[in-house]
Every structure is written in structure tokens, then in C-alpha cells.
């Protein structure tokens, strides 16, 4: 159903934003999670209404990304050039890789869906198509380590 797909897409975008906020503001998961629940999902703003989201998926991505961050970062590092470990990657891309990694590692989302969704999120944050291609390559490599074809 189209509505469900939109709710899942919004949950993924919010999860990336939440992971970025946790790192940038040095805030804990529960604090950020509550902020999103209270001030994002369907909230009214000056610019209109914020997108509703699949809150269960948002929570699952966020908690898995935090709980399994070391494993996700390790897998991402293996997909990156040794001279550019995840710690040197743009914080937005780091949040994208962690959210996508959470879905790949624990949530059972098909790799093709994960890659497509998070490449689109990368495009939402950057007009540079090189960023999207980079995200695609890294996520593809990570997915292959989890589910070798």
C-alpha cells in the first residue's frame, strides 16, 4: 500500500535525522527519541504539518543502530577505503550508513529496498550525485557481507 511505503520512508528519514542529532548534540537515544515523538511525527509547524511516520520502524532502526553500532561501523569500515574510515566520513553519511546497517543487520529488510531507500535519503541531503553513488557503493558492499549472493 502506498501510504505504508510513505510512512516507512518517513521513518527512515527521521531515523537518519535522529542519529545525526544524537551525534551532533551529544544527546542520548531516549532524549532524541522523545523529541521526535513529541515534536516531529505529524506535528504542526509554521510551514505546515510534519510527515507522519511508521513509529515502530523508526524505533527499531534507532535502537538497533545504537545497540549494534560497533558491528555496523565495522562492516561499513570494511566497505570504505582504509584511508577514509567511518570516523572521517561526513556525519550525515555516517547516520545514513548506521540506519541502513541497522535494517540490514537485524530488521530483515531486503537489501535492495535498504539500498534504494537510503540512496534516496542521501539525495535528499545532497545535490551532488557523487554522494548518492558513493552511498550506493558502500551500502551494496555492506549488504554483500551480510547476505552474500
- pLDDT per residue as tens digits for the range 63-116: 999 999 999 999 998 888 767 777 788 899 999 999 999 999 888 888 999 999
Q: What is the pTM of this model?
A: 0.88
The residue among 32, 19, 21 whose CA lies nearest residue 65 is 19
According to DSSP, the residues that pair with 44 across neighbouring strands are 49
- pLDDT per residue as tens digits for the range 4-52: 888 899 899 999 999 999 999 889 999 899 888 877 776 555 655 567 8
C-alpha distances out from residue 2 to 6, 51, 59, 79, 90, Å: 6, 14, 21, 33, 32
According to DSSP, the residues that pair with 49 across neighbouring strands are 44
Which pLDDT does position 1 carry in this prediction?
53
The kind and range of the H/E element at 49 are: strand 48-49
Which pLDDT does position 42 carry in this prediction?
65
Cα pseudo-dihedral 36, 120, 7, 93, rounded to 10: -30
Amino acid at each position: 500500500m502506498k501510504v505504508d511505503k510513505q510512512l516507512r520512508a518517513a521513518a527512515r528519514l527521521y531515523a537518519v535525522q535522529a542519529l545525526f542529532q544524537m551525534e551532533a548534540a551529544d544527546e542520548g537515544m531516549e532524549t532524541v527519541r522523545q523529541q521526535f515523538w513529541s515534536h516531529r511525527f505529524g506535528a504542526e509547524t509554521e510551514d505546515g504539518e510534519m510527515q507522519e511516520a511508521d513509529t515502530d520502524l523508526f524505533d527499531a532502526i534507532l535502537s538497533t543502530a545504537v545497540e549494534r553500532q560497533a558491528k555496523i561501523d565495522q562492516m561499513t569500515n570494511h566497505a570504505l577505503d582504509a584511508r577514509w574510515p567511518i570516523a572521517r566520513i561526513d556525519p550525515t553519511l555516517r547516520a545514513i550508513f548506521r540506519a541502513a546497517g541497522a535494517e540490514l543487520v537485524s530488521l530483515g529488510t531486503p537489501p535492495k529496498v535498504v539500498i534504494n531507500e537510503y540512496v534516496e535519503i542521501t539525495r535528499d541531503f545532497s545535490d551532488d550525485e557523487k554522494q548518492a553513488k558513493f552511498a550506493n557503493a558502500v551500502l551494496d558492499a555492506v549488504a554483500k557481507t551480510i547476505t552474500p549472493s
